[in-house]
Homo-oligomer: A and B are copies of this chain.
Amino acid sequence: MRQSQLFTKTRREAPADEVSKNAQLLIRAGYIHKEMAGVYAYLPLGLLVVEKIKQIVREEMNAIASQELIMTALQRKELWERTDRWNDEIVDVWFKSELKAGGEVGFGWSHEEPIGEMLKGHLTSYKDLPISVYQFQTKLRNEMRAKSGIMRGREFVMKDMYSFAADEASHLAYYEATKPAYMNVFKRVGVGDDTFITFAAGGAFTKFSHEFQTVCEAGEDVVYVNRAKGIAINEEVLNEETLASLGVTKDELEMLKTAEVGNIFNFGQQKAEDLGLTYKNEAGDSVAPFMGSYGIGVTRLMGVLVEKFADEKGIIWPASVAPFMVHLVGLNLEDEVIRDWVDGVYQNLRARGVSVLYDDRDLRPGEKFADSDLMGMPYRVVASRKGKEAGTFEVVTRATGAVRHLTEDELYNDFDADPDT
Contacts and interface: CB of A to CB of B under 8 A. Distances in A.
Residue picked from A7, A41, A107, A114, most chain B C-beta under 10 Å: A7
A93 B98 CA distance: 11
Interface string A109-153: 000001000110111100010010100001010111110000000
A107 B100 contact: no
A122 B105 CA distance: 36
A97 B138 contact: no
A68 interface: yes
Interface string A63-103: 00101111111111000000000000000110111011100
Interface in A132-177: 133, 138, 140, 142-146, 154-155
Contacts of A93: 100
B118 A72 contact: no
A396 interface: no
A67 B43 CA distance: 9
Interface stretch (A31-39, A250-258, A371-379, A382-390): A31-39
A38 to B, nearest CB: 9
A133 B119 CA distance: 38
B7 A133 contact: yes
A180 interface: no
Contacts of A123: 7
Nearest to A50: B70
A292 to B, nearest CB: 15
A142 B97 contact: yes
A7 B39 contact: no
A100 B140 CA distance: 13
A67 B7 contact: yes
B42 A155 contact: no
A155 to B, nearest CB: 5
A245 interface: no
B143 A76 contact: no
Contacts of A11: 121
Contact of A43 (B40, B42, B69, B101): B69
